[in-house]
Amino acid sequence: MNFGRYLPAVLMGATVVVQPQVGYLVRGAGRFGLKNQQGAFADFDRSIKLLPDKPKVYMVRVVAHKISGNKQGALADFQKAATLFKQQGDEDGYQSAVNEIKKLQGI
């Protein structure tokens, strides 16, 4: 699943039809776009609870963490996503997450 492709559409107010298990993720992105950070992060948390083994769910929450200035939250989610990408054999996803971790850490 490519969750990241939904974020720009949702932030622009578009109607997006998604599978029920990613509904919280999409609603969270919409709430974040409407400046409801508390509601957005609650939805992201619910989405992660439902899809804990999907690294791209963490990557969507990373975007919100970065925009809101929460560097530690972004790092934690990048690290979790990197671990999941590695476990699932997605080397490109793993390298992407590791590169972003290095950028945030100033390495």
User: For residue 43, what pLDDT is reported?
Assistant: 94
Percent over 90 (pLDDT), the chain? 74
Q: Report d(CA 56, CA 9) in Å as an integer.
A: 17
Q: Pick the closest to residue 70 from 92, 33, 38 (CA basis).
A: 38
pTM of the shown model:
0.78
| Maximum alpha-carbon separation in the chain | 39
Could you please report the per-residue DSSP string of 41-89? HHHHHHHHHH-TT-HHHHHHHHHHHHHTT-HHHHHHHHHHHHHHHHHTT
Read off the pLDDT of each residue in 7-32 and give the average, rounded to a whole number: 70
